Amino acid sequence: GQNIDQPTEMTATEGAIVQINCTYQTSGFNGLFWYQQHAGEAPTFLSYNVLDGLEEKGRFSSFLSRSKGYSYLLLKELQMKDSASYLCAVRANTNAGKSTFGDGTTLTVKP
Amino acid sequence: GAVVSQHPSRVICKSGTSVKIECRSLDFQATTMFWYRQFPKQSLMLMATSNEGSKATYEQGVEKDKFLINHASLTLSTLTVTSAHPEDSSFYICSARDIFGNSPLHFGNGTRLTVT
């Protein structure tokens, strides 16, 4: 099975940088994804890591360490619209490749 | 980019009736689709994996006779909530992945089901 942990809530200031951590335990690993979800909406894809290291995409970066079962999502130059829930998801190493989601981190960006 | 269409977006039904939710991949073929349920302020819980041309795989605790899944083509999967009860009220979201191994899930916009 899979066990995914991430902080429940975080608060940051507009223009700042915030790091959202995710730790996981899995019997079979085939990639880690970060999604953003605004209230009442479906999740949208942010980033994907399958190898160790940092993936950068604009204001968002994601890091993975497979040996530590650890990832983080880094958001730079925070904007008010970044207030949302951020979901860490781990894909299983099976034919179906189903993903298990963490409980999400609710980020509140304040002026 | 890849688009997944889900409808209806909202449905209100009476207790005991059945509701069908459709999930379509619009510009790619999806041999596998996933159905999730999300209660307020909780994460997405995988209900079942929908496989084109074969039976769906249900997660532990999900009643297959209550949540009927049909994946008749490479672009369409349906979830039918049979004999709905108020406790089935939730946000149901489908997702699909194209045939390339490491592509992310693309989500439909979700269906808000309210059973009265």
Q: How does pLDDT run along chain B (116 residues), one tens digit per residue?
A: 568 999 999 999 999 999 999 999 988 888 889 999 999 888 899 999 988 888 899 999 999 999 999 988 889 999 999 999 999 999 999 998 776 656 778 899 999 999 99
Nearest CA in chain B to A42: B109
Strand pairing of B10-13 and A2-5?
Answer: unpaired
Chain-chain contact of A43 with B44 (C-beta, under 8 angstroms): yes
- CB-closest option in A33, A42, A99 to B108: A42
Query: B71 CB contacts (<8 Å, ≥6 apart)?
Result: B33, B50, B51, B52, B53, B54, B56, B77, B78
- Average predicted confidence (pLDDT) for chain B: 90
* Among A31, A48, A22, CA closest to A104: A22
Q: Which of B34, B41, B43 to mutate: most A Cβ within 10 Å? A: B43
Query: A84 CB contacts (<8 Å, ≥6 apart)?
Result: A36, A37, A38, A39, A106, A107
Q: Which DSSP category does B83 fall into?
A: S
Query: B57 CB contacts (<8 Å, ≥6 apart)?
Result: A96, B48, B49, B51
pLDDT digits (tens, 9 = 90+) for B78-97: 999 999 999 999 999 999 87
Residue B52 main-chain phi, psi, to 5 deg: -60, 125
Q: Which of residues 57-96 of A touch B (CB under 8 A)?
A: 87, 89, 96
% of chain A exceeding 90 in pLDDT: 78
Q: Is A15 on the interface with B (CB under 8 A)?
A: no
Low-confidence ranges of chain A (pLDDT < 70): 1-2, 95-96
Chain-chain contact of B51 with A41 (C-beta, under 8 angstroms): no
Chain-chain contact of B104 with A42 (C-beta, under 8 angstroms): no
Chain-chain contact of A97 with B97 (C-beta, under 8 angstroms): yes
Distance from CA of A12 to the nearest CA of B (A): 20
Chain-chain contact of A50 with B102 (C-beta, under 8 angstroms): yes
Chain-chain contact of A43 with B93 (C-beta, under 8 angstroms): yes
Phi-psi region at A96: left, alpha or beta (left = phi > 0; alpha = psi -120 to 50):
alpha
CB-defined contacts A:B, below 8 A: 50
Chain-chain contact of B49 with A87 (C-beta, under 8 angstroms): no
Q: What residues of A are in contact with residue B105 (Cβ under 8 Å)?
A: 33, 45, 89, 99
- Between the alpha carbon of residue B44 and those of residues A52, A58, A86, the distances in Å are 26, 26, 12
